[in-house]
Amino acid sequence: MIELVVNGKTRSVDVNPDMPLLWVLRDVLGLTGAKYGCGMTLCGACTVHLDGEAVRACVLPTSAAVGKKIVTIEGLSPNGTHPVQKAWVAEQVPQCGYCQPGMVMAVAALLKKKPKPSDADIDAEVTNICRCGTYARIRKAIHAAAGKA
Ligand code: FES
Ligand code: FES
């Protein structure tokens, strides 16, 4: 058994320690907010937080998350009113929505580190891919949430 702390709760999972964390979150724990996109650390659809840092869970072995605080989109805010989520709604960012949980988690981690990021900071730190091309709205929403997260 492996013990993981996910969204503030300790969960015991009977999995191979090499299994990617995304599999455990989605298939074992039923937390389907983080998405599978490329499976190669390229798209960011699977982004969750590990001790506050944005990580791509599709390649991270579950063993690497032991003893750390894992937060998924489901645990970002108890009622879905994190400043990034509010800005996402106000700016009507999502189109199909598939990439958006990963985007929100990447942005929430960025704003913890840099409360008022420049466009260059955003380009450097939020490298997630959106097939629908919501990038302009994402940028607008990040600036709207800046200083509030
Ligand atoms: S699914 Fe993890 S980066 Fe694409
Ligand atoms: S909103 Fe559709 S992939 Fe980003």
Is residue 44 in contact with ligand 1, taking CB distance under 6 Å?
yes
Mean pLDDT of the chain: 97
Q: Which atom of ligand 2 is nearest to the CA of 96?
A: 2
> Considering the entire predicted model, what is its pTM?
0.97
Is residue 135 in contact with ligand 1, taking CB distance under 6 Å?
no
Determine the average pLDDT of the residues in 104-110. 98
What string of H, E and C letters represents the secondary structure of 74-129?
Answer: HHCCCCCCCHHHHHHHHCCCCCCCCCHHHHHHHHHHHHHHCCCCCHHHHHHHCCCC
Helix (H, G, I), strand (E, B) or coil at 5: strand
Is residue 42 in contact with ligand 1, taking CB distance under 6 Å?
yes
Rg (CA), the chain: 15
